[in-house]
Structure 1
Amino acid sequence: MRVSAKSDYALRALIEIALRGAGRPVSAEELGRIQDIPHGFLQAILADMRRAGVVVSQRGQSGGWRLARDPGEITVADVIRAVDGPLVSVYGLRPESVSYNGNAEILQLVWIAARSSLRDVFEHVTIAALADQRLPPDVAARTTDEDAWRPH
């Protein structure tokens, strides 16, 4: 899997928003400055997340962006889906929609398994956990495997 700049920037922005607490809005300009995210790109990402119900915008002098829901209810998977679409796609199709002929049919099972593996991590890590600098134990355990750190 390749993590897009959109997903990375979206998650970084949401961590900053969550750290404001109590629903205090933060401007796109401030988010961009703190996390070094290009302003125009960030505005488009925030708009995608607004359409997905992850953030809301508040107009006015003390306006900005805030989370639409509790940060403990927003997962990494929610964010990736909001800005990039499905966690796994095969030439633009969801794995269950792909069909193969003959000996290649096994590939569909590989794509389904890959999506399941990604869900095991992305659906269990919340914005609150990221803002608190803590991962669920089962996710954190995956990072202690020496092989996880080796490029292949």
Structure 2
Amino acid sequence: MRISARADYAVRAALQLAASQDEDEPLKAEAIAEAQDIPHKFLEGILGDMRRGGLVTSRRGGNGGYRLARPAASISIADVIRVVDGPLVSVRGVRPPDLSYTGPAESLLPLWIALRANVREILDGVSLADVASCELPAGVSALAHTPGAWANP
């Protein structure tokens, strides 16, 4: 699975908003871009997608900026990725349930579906609040600390 730059930037921007959720003033896009080292113009497009997707609200003007539309604990990492990139797992742009294979490739379909289910389980099960507080769910933390988890075979 590949996490696009767009998805990475969106999650980082959402985490910056989650960290400031208790502040009175909304965050300006410039401040988010600077804090997370995200190109400002690229971030503006991402924040627009997140606004249209119901994850953030925006306010114009001198005191304007962005806020999360709901508590960080109720927004999963998957929610953010889906809003900016679409489905979490697809094969050639097609969702696994819409695929069919024959012959020796027939068992690929359940493999792709299992992959999709596991990705969804992890990304739907981790909220912005979990990441922002550095308190990942135990199962995710255990997977991350598995020896060789990030190493190429």
Structure 1 position 104, deviation (Å): 1.7
Distance in 2 (alpha carbons) for counterparts of 1:147 and 1:79: 28
Give 1:70's aligned amino acid.
P
Structure 1 position 97, deviation (Å): 0.6
Aligned to 1:127: 128
Correspondence 1:40 to 2:68: no
Query: What does 1:83-102 correspond to in 2, within 5 Å?
Result: 83-102=84-103
Distance in 2 (alpha carbons) for counterparts of 1:52 and 1:105: 36
Aligned to 2:57: 56
1:44-67 deviations in Å (ceiling 9; x for gaps): 111111111111111121110100
Give 1:86's aligned amino acid.
P
Aligned to 2:146: 145
Q: Which moved more, 1:20-29 or 1:81-90?
A: 20-29
Distance in 2 (alpha carbons) for counterparts of 1:51 and 1:149: 34
How much is the aligned-residue C-alpha RMSD, in angstroms? Answer: 1.2
Structure 1 position 22, deviation (Å): 2.9
Aligned to 2:19: 19
Gaps of 5+ in 1: none
The two structures have a TM-score, normalised by structure 2, of: 0.94
Give 1:5's aligned amino acid.
A
Give 1:102's aligned amino acid.
G
Q: Which moved more, 1:101-110 or 1:78-87?
A: 101-110
Structure 1 position 103, deviation (Å): 2.7
User: Number of residues paired by the alignment?
Assistant: 152
Distance in 1 (alpha carbons) for counterparts of 2:32 and 2:53: 19
Instruction: Report % sequence identity.
Output: 49
